[in-house]
A and B are shown apart, each in its own frame.
Chain A
Amino acid sequence: MPVDTKRVRGPEVSQSPSLFLGRPVAVLPSSGPRADGRQRDQVDVRPVFVRCGLVSQAKGSAYIEAGNTKLMCCVYGPRETERKDETDMKCGRLTTDMRFAPFSCPERGSWIQGSQDKDFSLMLHESLQPAVCLHKYPRSQIEVNVMVLENSGSVLAHAITCASLALADAGIEMYDLVLGCSIRQDGASYVVDPSYMEENYSSSASSENQGGLTVAFLPSLNQISGLQSDGEMTEEILTAGVRTCIEGCYKLYPVIQQALAKAVRKAAPPPSES
């Protein structure tokens, strides 16, 4: 096995103390109110805190906090492309990178980007690309970097929102903002904007209709740019889920608009009308 010489290494094996708990982890019930007091089967998203323009080095940046889920996004570019091919000559390239800090999850993560991070990066790319006016940036690339500082569920959905906010903060031309929302279907009932526990430790008696769904939505154009679903759901449940997610996105929209307006106002007073 190759040895990682570029980091300070610890022992070869170490285990999380949560493996040695005296009692097993409680499984969340699939009915009744949710652990954080929100309502089941309703579009009850966590209140979000958003801020733009925190990172001095980046062209644009955004930070989002929903419950305990905390993540930030920086946008760099447009800059010269590293790889060149024919398609870059007419329109720009969007690159996305999403990573989890090692301390962001209840179990310590590895330093090396796992397959989940790569899946998320790809999903983020698919969700954002339709919204960015890439033809305005020939020969150049726009880099979107997302770092998850604390994972308390629905990271992909919030990463999408955060990234579109950072792109707008960077002054990258876009057709629309992109908002993300996810649900977790558990039998006949569902929870919107699930927490980490709800994503990973809920199980009900029925094995049907178990799954998660994340939707990326362009609110002004009323279009879906990304959809990711796992698990098994019937067609009706899935379409109902998509509708619920869109509703969740609309709840987020005014908060995001205000945050952006605040960032614009902070950056400069209105130019004189002359």
Chain B
Amino acid sequence: MAAGFKTAEPLEYHRSFLKENCRPDGRELSESRTTTLNIGSISTADGSALVKMGNTTIICGIKAELANPTVEAPGKGYIVPNVDLPPLCSSRFRPGPPGEQAQAASQFIADVIESSEVIKTEDLCIDRGKLCWVLYCDMMCLDYDGNILDACIIALLAALKNTQLPEVTINKETCAPEVNPEKRCGLHIHKHPVGASFCVFDDSILIVDPTAEEESLSTAQLTVVTDEEGRLCSLHKPGGTSLSGEKLQECISRATARQREIQKLIDKVIHSVKTAQ
């Protein structure tokens, strides 16, 4: 009968757990799911990372290409982040062009990159006004169980840290670029933004790292992105019920704690990859 209750009255089912300060999957309200990270698994990409947060799985692959900088910003390169939610990851997505959620997620990631300055686009310039790098960062969801924004940011950050760009020199005589794939160097990561997402139930109960079901039943969602210095990079609250200032403050302090946790994880994985080589 418990299973029947869950399908028939999902909201009541969740409330009955929240009343006891726990969640249907056994977590506490402020507990994140286990996060695992795998770096550099895709050899065809210049940088890649696979993140699993509970069931939610995101893979990020970065491909670098050469292009001309724009006239308005001759000294800058491009970062092109896109989030893809293919029909493979959940039955809620249909094949075809990106849906509303994927578009919103892509734009959110683009905003985070810009506001956090994780990478300075100036660093991607090779020859001012003539040649620069384009980093195509494609984040693909392989298993959709909520909180993709947090997972996307972690995947992106880890993949950027894993990215190795080949050396490019400009031939003085022909003015054509020459690529040396043997000699590669990493990107300079200025900041380490990490997100923390929350769901609001019944206007007052705050839960961390929501699953897909919790997301669909909640009254509001909120994502806070902070960097290693505890500075707020982005705060995303698309509608929903209002939130008190105290609660918001609580979210921000939780987000900074989460940032430290994730940065530690990324450093650890990168270190283990290096020693394994």
Listed in ascending order, the chain A residues whose CB lies under 8 Å from chain B are 6-11, 13-18, 20-22, 54-58, 68, 70, 72-74, 76, 79, 97, 99, 101-106, 108, 111, 143, 145-147, 149-152
User: B180 to A150, Cβ gap below 8 A?
Assistant: no
A105 to B44, CA, bound (A): 6
Q: Least Cβ distance of B193 to chain A in Å? A: 17
Q: Once the chains are docked, how many angstroms separate the CA of A263 from the CA of B277?
A: 32
- Please tell me which one of the listed residues B68, B84, B178 contacts residue A22 in the complex, with CB atoms under 8 A apart: B178
| Contact partner, A57, options B41, B63, B97, B145, Cβ 8 Å | B145
Q: Given the interface contacts A13-B67, A72-B88, does A20 sit within 8 Å of B107 by beta carbon? A: no
Say whether, besides A55-B142, A104-B44, A15 and B86 are in contact (CB < 8 Å).
no
Complex CA–CA separation, A56 to B181 (angstroms)? 39
Q: Determine the distance from Cα of A215 to Cα of B144 in the docked complex, in whole angstroms.
A: 33
Q: Roughly how many angstroms separate A261 CA and B102 CA in the complex, as a whole number?
A: 36
Contact present for A56 and B143 (CB under 8 Å) = yes
Cβ of B259 to closest chain A Cβ, rounded Å: 24
**Interface hits, B48-63 → A, CB 8 Å:** 48, 55, 57, 59, 61-63
B136 touches A54 (CB 8 A): no
Extra A-B contacts (18), CB below 8 Å, given A15-B66, A101-B59, A149-B42: A7-B103, A10-B78, A11-B78, A14-B78, A17-B64, A22-B178, A57-B144, A58-B88, A58-B143, A74-B88, A76-B87, A79-B91, A99-B86, A103-B44, A103-B48, A104-B42, A143-B87, A152-B44
Which residues from B are CB-within-8-Å of A8?
Answer: 80-82, 106-107, 110
A residues in contact with B245, CB < 8 Å = none
Name 23 interchain pairs, CB-CB below 8 A, sorted by A.
A7-B98, A8-B106, A10-B134, A14-B66, A15-B66, A16-B65, A16-B66, A17-B181, A20-B66, A20-B168, A55-B143, A57-B90, A57-B144, A57-B145, A72-B88, A97-B88, A101-B61, A102-B63, A103-B62, A108-B65, A147-B142, A149-B42, A149-B59
Closest 6 CB pairs of A and B: A103-B61, A10-B80, A14-B67, A56-B55, A145-B88, A14-B65
**Alpha-carbon distance A152/B44, docked complex (angstroms):** 9
Report Cα–Cα, A8/B145, bound state, in Å: 24
Nearest chain-B residue to A101 (Cβ)? B140
Does B89 sit within 8 A of A, measured CB to CB?
Answer: yes
Q: Is A6 touching B98 in the complex (CB atoms < 8 A)?
A: yes
Kindly state the separation between the CA atoms of A72 and B42 in the bound complex, as whole angstroms. Answer: 14
- Proximity bits, B140-154, A CB within 8 Å = 1, else 0: 101111000000000
Decide yes or no: A11 and B63 within 8 Å by CB, A70-B42, A147-B140 being known contacts.
no
**Are B89 and A57 touching (Cβ within 8 A)?**
yes
A14 to B166, CA, bound (A): 16
Task: For the complex formed, measure the closest distance between the CB of A144 and the CB atoms of chain B, giving whole angstroms.
Answer: 10
Q: How far is the CA of A72 from the CA of B70 in the complex (A)?
A: 38
Which chain B residues (94-108) contact chain A, with CB distance < 8 Å? 95, 97-98, 102-103, 106-107
Q: How far is the CB of B36 from chain A (nearest CB, A)?
A: 13
B22 within 8 A of A: no
For A79, what are the chain B residues with a Cβ–Cβ distance below 8 Å?
91
Smallest CB-CB separation from A74: which chain B residue?
Answer: B88
For B152-177 the 0/1 string (1 means CB < 8 A from A) is: 00000000000000101000000011
- What is the bound-complex CA distance between A46 and B96, given in angstroms? 34
User: When the two chains form their complex, are residues A57 and B91 in contact, meaning their CB atoms are under 8 A apart?
Assistant: yes
Query: Is B227 among interface residues, defined by CB-CB distance under 8 A?
Result: no
Question: Which of chain A's residues has its CB closest to B65's CB?
Answer: A14
